[in-house]
Amino acid sequence: MTLLKSWVASANTADTDFPLNNLPYGVFSTPDDDGARCGVAIGDMILDMAAMEEFGLVDLTGGPVFDVPFWNDVMDLGPAAWAALRARLTALLAEGSADQSLVEPHLVGRDTATLHMPFAVSEYTDFYAGMQHAKNMGAILRGSPDLPANWLHIPIGYNGRASSVVVSGTDIRRPLGQTKAPDAQMPSFGPTKRLDIELELGAIVGTGSTLGQPVSVAQADAMIFGYVLLNDWSARDIQGWEYQPLGPFQGKAFGTSISPWIVTAAALEDFRTSTPDREVDLLPYLNEEKPGLYDIHLEVLMQPENADTPTSLSKTNYSRMYYSAAQQLCHHSIGGCEMNGGDLLGSGTISGPTKSEYGSLMELSWATREPFTLNNGDQRGFIEDGDTLTLRGHAQGNGFKIGFGDCVGKILPALDTPFAD
Ligand code: MN
């Protein structure tokens, strides 16, 4: 597919994240208006969907749905409504649209807007579907890259926290917690010394399922509304002490950042790519009928407070994953667990086969044994206070990008004391 031309000039460049081909969904506010509401990114602008609905330019059966600070009401309407909305927006914003003069007053400059969480997160589940990441973590933590015995058969995951999922731009406070050094007799309490990122893609469930009724991989694929970049902030020392035998808890609970725009599954459709060849066959319920991954280029950048420019730490691709979001969603439901609109599924850390493609600092510094150097000469094993971490991602079309917008988080120092008066 080639670039679809829009009458919004800034949407017609090869390097914008938001050409007409994309049309991602977010929530925004401006200083002089009456609250956060739904918007669609187009070039340097945001289309005010609450205004579009108010003036009758967009009318979804079951509306109004856009004058609220979340896209969950649209998700509830289901795939037919999602397709109708995308078709309507594409027609309204296309070059030559007869409605340009009616739509133009409802565009807001993106640089004047504050972006908010694009949807209400029902629940958050995080997976572990990157093979290279799993092998690296085994090598670092257990001295062997051998995968856990279940890994080639199960998309492993844990139930995370929806309450601490935040939108890009939200500062993250270094968490306090309990750790134990290998040679210490007793655990100790204090700020994490091993604060890390995980480069992930988040899949957003649009329509739910029924308690007691599993969904197939094909059904799961149709239930997914869209995707965001996801940074699963991790405190490795807290995690390392707490995680056996029940898995991550406080080491992962303090914050998860997502990019502000939901890139729809429809916008990514032309970029589908297959999961890799299997070393062993999956159990049949996990087989997928159509390619479930996407060719999405990803990058991690780090910028200390005293540096003028960020340093690119890693570049990889979502196609490296072993399990697709649809396979993960199917597996999530297979025992009868009900899934809901607004459920967020983290892909698991995305790491490619070489160091330049690793998606966590744990891997990039090999747990501080091989510190890496930033543009300003600073060395890092993990994150220091004041560091800003950015995830970027896009699918590359012929002369256009389907971009996600940056997923940014800056680290604040830990609290001096844990409890408020
Ligand atoms: Mn993770």
* CATH label of the domain that carries residue 179: 3.90.850.10
In a domain, 142, yes or no: yes
Is the pLDDT confidence value at 183 over 80?
yes
Give the integer Cα–Cα distance in Å for 251 and 33. Answer: 39
Question: Measured between alpha carbons, how far is 205 from 71 in angstroms, rounded to an integer?
Answer: 12
For residue 130, the CA-to-ligand 1 centroid distance in Å is 10
Catalytic-labelled residue, pool 133, 331, 332, 394? 133
Shared domain check, 360 and 229: yes
Q: Is the model's pLDDT at 114 over the cut of 90? A: yes
pTM attached to this predicted model: 0.98
Statement to judge: residues 202 and 128 lie in one domain = yes
Q: Please, what is the average pLDDT of the chain?
A: 97
First to last CA, the chain: 59
CA distances, 5 to each of 42, 286, 357 (Å): 11, 39, 34
Q: 């297979």: which residue's tokens?
A: 334
What are the phi and psi torsion angles at 178 (to 5°)?
A: -100, 130
Q: Which residues have a Cβ under 8 Å from the Cβ of 354 and sit 6 or more positions away?
A: none
Whether residue 288 has pLDDT greater than 80 = yes
**Collapsed DSSP state (helix, strand, coil) of residue 101:** helix
What is the pLDDT at residue 170?
98
101 and 206 in a single domain? The answer is no
Q: Is residue 420 included in any domain, yes or no?
A: no
Q: What pLDDT is stored for residue 106 in this prediction?
A: 98
Residue 351, domain member (yes or no): yes
Cα 200 to ligand 1 centroid, rounded to whole Å: 7
Last residue of a domain, one of 61, 81, 116: 116
Spatial contact of 188 and 178, defined as CB atoms under 8 Å apart:
yes
Burial class (CB in 10 A: 0-12, 13-18, 19+), 272: middle
Burial of residue 182 (CB within 10 Å: 0-12, 13-18, 19+) is: exposed
**Together in a domain, 356 and 294:** yes
Q: Which residue type, as a one-letter code, is found at position 379?
A: Q
Q: How far apart are the C-alpha atoms of 207 and 224, rounded to whole Å?
A: 7
Together in a domain, 100 and 246: no
Task: Specify whether the CB–CB gap between 82 and 206 falls below 8 A.
Answer: yes
Tell me phi and psi for residue 233, to 5 degrees.
Answer: -55, 140
E strand residue ranges, 232-325: 234-235, 256-258, 263-264, 272-273, 293-294, 297-303, 311-317
Q: Does residue 263 belong to any structural domain of this protein?
A: yes
Q: What is the rounded CA–CA span in Å between residue 234 and residue 232? A: 6
Q: Which of 86, 116, 146 is the last residue of a domain?
A: 116
| Per-residue pLDDT tens over the stretch 206-252 | 999 999 999 999 999 999 999 999 999 999 999 999 998 999 999 99
Q: What percent of the chain has pLDDT over 70?
A: 100
- Residue 202 placed within a domain: yes
**What number is the average pLDDT over the span 129-156?**
96
- Cα gap 352→360, rounded to integer Å: 11
**For residue 24, what are its two tokens?**
């991602």
Look at residue 63 and tell me whether its pLDDT is greater than 80.
Answer: no
Whether 172 is in a domain gets the answer yes
What range defines the domain where residue 60 resides?
9-116
pLDDT band at residue 265 using 50, 70 and 90 as cut-offs: very high
pLDDT at 1: 85
Distance in Å, CA 134 to ligand 1 centroid: 11
Q: How many Cβ atoms from other residues are within 10 Å of residue 279's Cβ?
A: 10
3-state SS, residue 72: helix
Are both 207 and 92 inside the same structural domain?
Answer: no
**β-bridge partners, 194:** none
Between 421 and 145, the higher pLDDT residue: 145
Q: Which residue has the tokens 């999405």?
A: 296
Q: Which of 72, 87, 116 is the last residue of a domain?
A: 116
Tell me, yes or no, if 133 is annotated catalytic.
yes
pLDDT of residue 234: 98
The CA-based dihedral angle spanning residues 399, 46, 229, 392, taken in that order and rounded to the nearest 10 degrees: 50
Residue 201: its H or E element: strand 199-205
Q: Residue 154 domain-assigned?
A: yes
H/E stretch holding 411 reads strand 407-412
The strand pairing partners of 297, in sequence order, are: 317, 394
> In this structure, are 90 and 159 located in the same domain?
no
pLDDT, tens digit, for every residue of 344-402?
Answer: 999 999 999 999 999 999 999 999 999 999 999 999 999 999 999 999 999 999 999 99
Structure tokens at 171: 């500062």
The domain tally of the chain equals: 2
Q: 421: pLDDT confidence band, cut at 50, 70 and 90? A: confident
* Distance in Å, CA 356 to ligand 1 centroid: 19
417 within domain boundaries: no
Give 276 Cα–ligand 1 centroid separation in angstroms. Answer: 20
Phi/psi of residue 208, each to 5°? -90, -175
Contact at 8 Å (CB) between 305 and 289?
Answer: no
Q: Rounded to the nearest whole angstrom, what is the distance from the C-alpha of residue 349 to the centroid of ligand 1?
A: 5
* Centre of ligand 1 from the C-alpha of residue 348, in Å: 5
8 A C-beta contact, residue 35 and residue 69 = yes
Task: Tell me the CATH number at 31.
Answer: 2.30.30.230
Cross-strand partners of 166:
257
- State the chain's maximal CA–CA distance in angstroms: 74
Does 85 share its domain with 144?
A: no
Task: Indicate if 55 and 35 belong to the same structural domain.
Answer: yes
* CA–CA distance, 365 with 79 (Å, rounded to integer): 43
Task: Give CA separation, 242 vs 205, 234, 264, in Å.
Answer: 30, 13, 36
Domain match, 227 and 331 both: yes
Residues 248 and 187 in one domain: yes
pLDDT attached to residue 39:
98
155 and 58 housed in the same domain: no
